[in-house]
Amino acid sequence: MPFEVRETRTYTAQPDAVYRAALAAVETLRGQVLQSDPAQGRLSARFDKKLRGKILGDRTQIEIECAAAPTGQTSVAVLVYPLDALNRKLMFGARKGVPETVMSWFFEDLERHLSA
């Protein structure tokens, strides 16, 4: 799907600390947690059209997976995609840049929570 945006980053913190920071980042962005599995390091959340006081134009969903990397760090894999009015993956007509914006704000908040 061309509207999906994926990114993976690594952090020096333990997987449980990164997971808690990811959950805090979702809450900071006022996302609705759909699924949360701390044992597996998986988190899924939905965001409204309005984030940080800006109207982005599309609802989005984010899927996060935190896992220990072989280097002793924690890998965070994120998938973001737009949703239609019925909260299904948007297959056409998505506004350009919305998933990228949501992803950048998520990582920004994640890193802020990790450094706190």
Beta bridge partners of 50: 55
Boundaries of every domain in the chain? 5-115
Domain 5-115 fold is: Alpha-D-Glucose-1,6-Bisphosphate; Chain A, domain 4 (3.30.530)
pTM, entire model: 0.90
pLDDT at 1: 46
pLDDT at 116 over 80: no
**59-114 pLDDT tens trace:** 999 999 999 988 889 999 999 999 988 888 887 777 888 999 999 999 999 999 99
Coil, strand, or helix at residue 66?
strand
State how beta strands 32-37 and 42-47 pair. Answer: antiparallel
